[in-house]
């Protein structure tokens, strides 16, 4: 390819054009998907990659946890199909072990873009589908002990070949998934977004030419890496360590250790997980690219939050994780709930680097993607329904601010599903949706509060599956701040009887005269509680978020 000079202004204009394409594709999926998990909670991502499979741009509203998953898909496509890629092809995949995915509910799609006969790049997207088959409804229950139980495994295959849909393949996929009409709707949203992105990127190819656009792609990656390395250089050289624990894997293994050693020299940084526990039977294991996503998010958040999400971040870091370990598992390891584990990896990075960047780090957050699945037969239609949600919780306190209450944190930025959407779509009633008093750790700045949802089935008996983390190990405080509160699940009957549930609970029968109570963890505080101002303490009381007893226990009043 001839050397092409790119001036800074042209580069910036083209870069913003690429971002707008990814963002438009994201909004297209959000507005055309069938499931509440996408159209309301926005559990999806979109991106553009170059002809080598390097990720160039990810949509602004996309999920950080999807970063390495989409890059993994692109790498597998290029390595496997090489020259056997044609205009109109649409590739589909989800498998973590053979297709670059991170768990089966996240179905990837990618469509190539050409300049004549020359491959220029790809438009890609991911949707978290509410069910992809397997042993448990929702494909996300705790305790599943092999990948085969978690749902339909899709290697990288063509759903469209030269613009022609493989209807037989689509029927095979849908037959193995519950709620096939909803799945078809979400898959169609992904296909439409691919086609939209390709159309927009082809316009850019016509304007710039394939060679020039490829040069711009490379320039974006190189500049991102340079910027990331400059940020890394701002850290002092040294070795920094931290260890944290997962509660359990839902299959008998408790206190799963994640040990991180960070070695920083100049503009190089190594994340070494030697000493981390081996992969477990339960479905909390991480493939290496899931771990990579968590690392990339963490270092970006701490050192340069505005750096673009692309291949340049991957190139700026080094990652070492023992094969077969909890953070680099091998088949047939179960991985459906890897997001919870990724959150703990983020906590480890923050914990290790806290003394180096105390003004940027946050205390331990709710550290989980507390998931709830309600399923049954809708008495209004006689059809199966699946309500899936991951609930927010407390965000860790910072050097200058209290932690946010009831939000998704770190690698997931999805929304909490509105009560109106739940009650409109499903035969369920949300009897309480509130923040939980006293769940944020005390400190100069206090941790964020967890969420309580109380849900009742209407006109039928349903099944509840719940998965929680930080139900045993509290979200830790920083620099003298106190720990946040743990989460819990329980059933409450109308006569007042309570039944406590395990943090990984499957196939729980929920009749009409009972409610499921879901309480997510809070978050840690930052700095000594004695340094909290009188005004802030009064706000804690008047807001109703903290009780008189809590304030008397933790603050000098």
Q: Give the pLDDT score at 2.
A: 55
Task: Determine the Cα–Cα distance for residues 483 and 475; give it in Å rounded to an integer.
Answer: 6
Structural contact between residues 442 and 555, judged by C-beta atoms closer than 8 angstroms: yes
- Quick count: other Cβ atoms within 10 Å of Cβ 120? 22
Instruction: Round the CA-based radius of gyration of the chain to a whole number and report it.
Output: 23
Contact 440, 446 (CB under 8 A): yes
Residue-by-residue pLDDT tens, the chain, 557 positions: 556 778 888 889 999 999 999 999 999 999 999 998 898 888 899 999 999 999 999 988 777 778 777 777 888 898 889 889 999 999 999 999 988 888 899 999 999 999 999 999 999 999 999 899 988 888 888 888 999 999 999 999 999 999 999 999 999 999 999 999 999 999 999 999 999 999 999 999 999 899 999 999 999 999 999 999 999 999 999 999 999 999 999 999 999 999 999 999 999 999 999 999 999 999 999 999 999 999 999 999 999 999 988 999 999 999 999 999 999 999 999 999 999 999 999 999 999 999 999 999 999 999 878 889 999 999 999 999 999 888 999 999 999 999 999 999 988 877 888 999 999 999 999 999 999 999 999 999 999 999 999 999 999 999 999 999 999 999 999 999 999 999 999 999 999 999 999 999 989 999 999 999 999 999 999 999 999 999 999 999 999 999 999 999 999 76
The pLDDT of residue 109 is 95
Q: Return the number of other C-beta atoms located less than 10 Å from residue 485's C-beta.
A: 26
C-beta of residue 419 within 8 angstroms of C-beta of residue 430: yes
- DSSP letter for 377, please: E
Q: How far is CA 557 from the centre of its chain?
A: 40
Return the pLDDT at 285.
Answer: 96
For residue 557, the model assigns a pLDDT of: 66
The DSSP result for 467-523, as a single string, is: E-SSSSSPPPPBTTPPPPPP-EEEEEETTS-EEEE-SEEEEEEE-TTEEEEEE---B
CB 462 within 8 A of CB 537: no
Q: DSSP for 229-241?
A: HHHHHTSPSEEEE
Q: What is the dihedral of CA 337, 476, 411, 302, to 10 degrees?
A: -150
């Amino acid at each position: 390819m001839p050397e092409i000079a790119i001036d800074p202004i042209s580069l910036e204009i083209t870069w913003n054009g690429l971002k707008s394409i990814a963002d438009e594709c994201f909004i297209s999926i959000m507005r055309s998907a069938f499931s509440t998990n996408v159209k309301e909670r926005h559990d999806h991502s979109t991106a553009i990659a170059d002809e080598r499979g390097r990720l160039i741009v990810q949509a602004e509203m996309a999920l950080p946890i999807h970063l390495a998953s989409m890059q993994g898909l692109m790498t597998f496509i290029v390595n496997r199909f090489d020259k056997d890629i044609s205009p109109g092809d649409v590739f589909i995949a989800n498998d973590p072990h053979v297709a670059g995915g991170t768990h089966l509910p996240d179905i990837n799609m990618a469509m190539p873009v050409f300049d004549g006969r020359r491959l220029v790049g790809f438009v890609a997207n991911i949707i978290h589908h509410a069910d992809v088959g397997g042993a448990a409804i929702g494909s996300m229950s705790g305790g599943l002990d092999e990948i085969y139980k978690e749902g339909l495994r899709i290697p990288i295959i063509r759903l469209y070949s030269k613009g022609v849909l493989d209807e037989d393949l689509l029927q095979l996929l849908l037959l193995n998934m519950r709620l096939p009409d909803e799945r078809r709707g979400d898959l169609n949203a992904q296909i439409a977004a691919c086609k939209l992105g390709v159309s927009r990127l082809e316009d850019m190819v016509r304007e710039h030419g394939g060679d020039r656009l490829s040069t711009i792609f490379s320039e974006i990656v190189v500049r991102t890496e340079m910027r990331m390395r400059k940020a890394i250089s701002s850290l002092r050289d040294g070795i920094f360590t931290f260890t944290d624990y997962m509660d359990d894997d839902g299959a008998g293994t408790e206190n799963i250790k994640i040990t991180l050693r960070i070695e920083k020299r100049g503009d190089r940084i190594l994340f070494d997980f030697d000493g981390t526990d081996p992969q477990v039977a339960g479905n909390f294991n991480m493939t290496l690219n899931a771990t990579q996503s968590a690392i990339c998010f963490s270092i970006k958040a701490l050192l340069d939050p505005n750096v673009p999400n692309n291949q340049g971040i991957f190139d700026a870091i080094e990652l070492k994780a023992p094969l077969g370990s909890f953070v680099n598992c091998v088949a047939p390891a179960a991985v459906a709930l890897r997001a919870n584990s990724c959150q703990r990896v983020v906590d480890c990075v923050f914990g290790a680097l806290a003394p180096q960047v105390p003004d940027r780090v946050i205390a331990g957050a709710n550290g989980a993607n507390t998931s709830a699945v309600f399923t049954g037969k809708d008495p209004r239609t006689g059809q199966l329904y699946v309500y899936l949600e991951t609930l927010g919780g407390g965000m860790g306190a910072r050097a200058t601010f209290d932690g946010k209450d009831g939000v998704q944190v770190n690698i997931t930025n999805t929304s909490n599903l509105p009560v109106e959407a739940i009650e409109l779509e499903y035969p369920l009633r949300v009897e309480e949706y509130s923040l939980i008093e006293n769940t944020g750790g005390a400190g100069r700045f206090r941790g964020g509060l967890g969420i309580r949802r109380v849900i009742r089935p209407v006109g039928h008996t349903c099944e509840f599956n719940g998965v929680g983390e930080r139900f045993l190990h509290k979200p830790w405080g920083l620099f003298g701040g106190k720990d946040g509160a743990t989460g819990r699940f329980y059933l409450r009957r109308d006569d007042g009887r309570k039944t406590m549930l395990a943090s990984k609970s499957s196939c729980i029968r929920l009749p009409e005269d009972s409610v499921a109570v879901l309480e997510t963890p809070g978050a840690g505080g930052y700095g000594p509680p004695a340094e909290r101002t009188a005004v802030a303490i009064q706000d804690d009381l008047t807001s109703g978020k903290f009780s008189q007893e809590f304030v008397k226990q933790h603050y000098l009043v």
